Amino acid sequence: MSTPVPPVSPRPCGCLGCRMRHVTGPIMLITLGVLLALQTVWHRASFGHTWPVILIVLGVLKVMQYFTPHRP
Ligand SMILES: [Zn+2]
């Protein structure tokens, strides 16, 4: 009789790599909100001119994720 394999824990891994992946979505939402607020609330810059910031932020996050691998 082999010992039963314990089920995979539903708790998220707390390593830096996993935390980095979990904050990607919220950071993108915050970035989008700030860019839209710049246009609609503060009338500073048109979203048509600032949208590439989203790509830059996403790229920076992806590079940071690359350097923070999953280490349970
Ligand atoms: Zn992890």
What average pLDDT does range 50-60 have in this prediction? 96
pLDDT for 72: 82
CA 35 to ligand 1 centroid distance, Å: 31
- Alpha-carbon gap, residue 3 to 52, rounded angstroms: 53
Higher pLDDT, 8 or 25: 25
- Contact by Cβ (8 Å): 47, 36: yes
Q: Residue 63: is its pLDDT beyond 80?
A: yes
CA 39 to ligand 1 centroid distance, Å: 37
CA 48 to ligand 1 centroid distance, Å: 37
What average pLDDT does range 37-65 have in this prediction? 94
CA 30 to ligand 1 centroid distance, Å: 24
CA 40 to ligand 1 centroid distance, Å: 38
What average pLDDT does range 3-18 have in this prediction? 72
Of 64, 56, 55, 50, give the one whose Cα is nearest residue 22. Answer: 64
